[in-house]
Amino acid sequence: QVQLVESGGGLVQPGGSLRLSCVASGFTLEYWAIGWFRQAPGKEREAVSCISRHGDDSAHYEMSARGRFTISRDNDKNAAYLQMHSLKPDDTALYYCAAGPWYSDDGCDAREYHVWGQGTQVTVSS
């Protein structure tokens, strides 16, 4: 069964850090571009960051994530990560990882991602 499972979310104070994990099963994540997306209550889903397939590892960050978040992958573990620092209340959302065949330096288009996880909740609050 093709599946992505996110973990690592939780409640953190403003300024804190979290590391989200995304583990794949049923397919080899190395051959896919990976994206992180988020959706806050009452808002549309938005892209956070994405990374190309193994061998290039080009990465794109949306403005909200630049300088604070880092996307990475570990092909030995069939996993991807999103390290988040300096978290703000505006970062509160359900975070999803997704896998797709294409990556673009111009942005992370959710329509290009075909396998999605169930999400992990991140809440930034004092």
Q: Using DSSP bridges, classify how beta strands 59-61 and 3-7 pair: parallel, antiparallel or unpaired.
A: unpaired
Residue 54 pLDDT: 74
100-117 pLDDT, tens per residue?
998 888 889 999 999 999
Least confident of 51-55, 75-79, 89-93: 51-55
31-72 pLDDT, tens per residue?
999 999 999 999 999 999 999 987 677 999 999 999 999 999
11-21 pLDDT, tens per residue?
999 999 999 99
Residue 106 pLDDT: 84
Pick left, alpha or beta for residue 114 (phi over 0 → left; psi -120 to 50 → alpha; otherwise beta): alpha
Q: Which residues pair with 81 in a beta bridge?
A: 21, 72
Which strand ranges, in their side-by-side order, compose the sheet holding 18-25? 3-7, 18-25, 79-84, 69-74
